[in-house]
Amino acid sequence: MRPRIRFGRVRVRPFVPNDIPAVASIVREALRENYPTSLYLDIHRWWRDGFLIAEANGNPVGFLASVMTSDGQARILMFAVTAGFRRQGIGRQMMDAFVQMCGMRGLRRIELEVRKSNEEAIRFYRRYGFDTQTVLPKFYTDGEDGYKMVKFV
């Protein structure tokens, strides 16, 4: 069942290039990064099924972008929900759709990297069955360590 939230009904759908301005703005606000348009187009071209948008009242409020690795695993590159829309199950709805899609494609392992200090995201991933596999020393450009987290589908 789709959750009813304060802002109306949420729908998870595939990314389309028209979403780039909205996605870039979520990336700036939630992930504090600034990427060129070409990155989003590349990710979309590499694996269309792995780029999802969460839409509330017709506006993108979250997204999940991933790639399929050469050995047939999924790697989540970016995952975020706009600040005012968090803790209402939108992240869960996107992750559910993503995990289900991976299962249908026969992918059995999903991995991602997350900042050690990002307790909210780490808690979310743990509840989702991701385990911390390794510490990635100085993984981020500002010198912060990361965790590699893995979930078997």
The residues that touch ligand ACO, with contacts defined as CB under 6 A, are: 30-31, 76, 78-81, 86-92, 112, 114, 118, 120-121, 123-124, 127
Q: Strand 109-115: give its sheet, edge to edge.
A: 4-5, 8-14, 51-56, 59-68, 74-81, 109-115, 146-152, 131-136
Nearest to ligand ACO of 105, 115 (CB atom): 115
Give the CB-nearest residue to ligand ACO. 91
CB of 60 to ligand ACO, least distance (A): 13
Distance CA 1, CA 7 (A): 16
Element (H or E) spanning 50, and its range?
none
Distance CA 49, CA 46 (A): 9
Nearest to ligand ACO of 20, 80 (CB atom): 80
β partners of residue 65: 51, 78
CB of 29 to ligand ACO, least distance (A): 9
β partners of residue 112: 76, 149
CB of 128 to ligand ACO, least distance (A): 9
β partners of residue 148: 113, 134
Which candidate, 79, 76, 96, places its Cα nearest to that of 148?
76
Nearest to ligand ACO of 31, 49 (CB atom): 31
CB of 114 to ligand ACO, least distance (A): 4
CB of 17 to ligand ACO, least distance (A): 21
Nearest to ligand ACO of 89, 129 (CB atom): 89
Nearest to ligand ACO of 92, 105 (CB atom): 92
